[in-house]
Chains A and B, each alone.
Chain A
Amino acid sequence: MIRAYGALVLMVFLNTVGQLLVKRGAVRIVLRSGIAALVRSMLNLYLLLGCASVVLAPLLYMYALSFLELSVGYSFTGLTYVSVVLSGHLLLHERITLYHIAGALVILAGLTIWNIT
């Protein structure tokens, strides 16, 4: 059971990393400068992290769902909104408003209620 929740948290982490990479524009594939540049542009750490998020996150999710109900596992995707807002502010110094903070707290409250059973 703990492994299932661990997988969900890792999934949220990977999805958050993917989101931050997209926002930073860190993952850009160079198309116009020949094959060598294309390959070089694809072989960076950011892109590998991005791929890990796209490939691994669903696997972790399916693994978690082998232990948990769908209605429980799916609720954890809501955590991504919170972590993206939080890490976007802390790491990328994006501006946030009181609405963001209130929304994040409401989502956390919702997840807590959802998973009290």
Chain B
Amino acid sequence: MTRSNYSAAVIILLLLFSYLFLVGGQICAKMAGSTLDTPDRMVLVFIFGTYAFFMLRGLLWIFLLRRLKLVVAYPLMSIGYILVLMVSFVLFREEPTPAKIIGAMFLVAGVLLISVGENRLAAQGGSRGTSSPDEAGPGTQPETPPGAAQ
């Protein structure tokens, strides 16, 4: 296996895990939210899970952003909107309205446009450009997604 093949495999693996952590974090956050009224020990588990998944995902994106161009990384990140939407429909039985699906497509398109803009700036040099909502947070702690959720 050549070196470039190897790093491509690593990147794909990291990406898959970042989606996994995103979905895991969102599930935990929703579960924590919906058990807030009737607090028991499980709430703490879900709250801990939310923080853990968010931070793991943040850490993964630090690695990914070093290896991918922003113009590639941002759109890959925005696929998360589709994934979370699917999870909310399938797992939480939320209503899959056309408004949500079209809105998510707009969001992906908007992120794509911003990433093209970032790429233009990077090509011109000089500007440091915009870091993503999912990039590393202050200090050594990873930023929460866009929600936190990012």
- The tally of CB-CB contacts under 8 A between chains A and B is 236
Q: How many residues in B have their beta carbons less than 8 Å from beta carbons of A?
A: 66
A15–chain B nearest beta-carbon distance, Å: 6
Q: Hey, what's the 0/1 contact readout for A1-24 against B, CB within 8 Å counting as 1?
A: 000000000010001001101110
8 Å CB contact of B121 from A50, A57, A97: A97
Asked if B138 and A80 sit within 8 Å, CB to CB, the answer is: no
- Distance A105 CA – B106 CA, assembled complex (angstroms): 10
- Distance A74 CA – B54 CA, assembled complex (angstroms): 13
Asked if B139 and A111 sit within 8 Å, CB to CB, the answer is: no
Asked if B88 and A74 sit within 8 Å, CB to CB, the answer is: yes
Name the A residues within 8 Å of B92 (CB-CB): 69-71
* Residues of chain A from 63 to 80 with CB closer than 8 A to chain B in the complex: 63-67, 69-78, 80
Asked if B85 and A18 sit within 8 Å, CB to CB, the answer is: no
- Distance A81 CA – B80 CA, assembled complex (angstroms): 14
Name the A residues within 8 Å of B26 (CB-CB): 70, 74
Asked if B104 and A75 sit within 8 Å, CB to CB, the answer is: yes
Asked if A57 and B144 sit within 8 Å, CB to CB, the answer is: yes
Name the A residues within 8 Å of B50 (CB-CB): 58, 61-62
A52–chain B nearest beta-carbon distance, Å: 9
7 additional A-B pairs beyond A62-B36, A74-B149, beta carbons within 8 Å, are A19-B143, A22-B143, A58-B148, A75-B107, A96-B121, A106-B106, A106-B107
Q: Which residues of A contact B (CB under 8 A)?
A: 11, 15, 18-19, 21-23, 27, 29, 42, 46-47, 49-51, 53-54, 57-67, 69-78, 80-81, 84-85, 88, 94-100, 102-117
Can you show 10 pairs from A to B with CB atoms below 8 A apart?
A15-B150, A29-B139, A51-B138, A53-B144, A78-B81, A78-B107, A84-B131, A107-B114, A110-B102, A110-B105
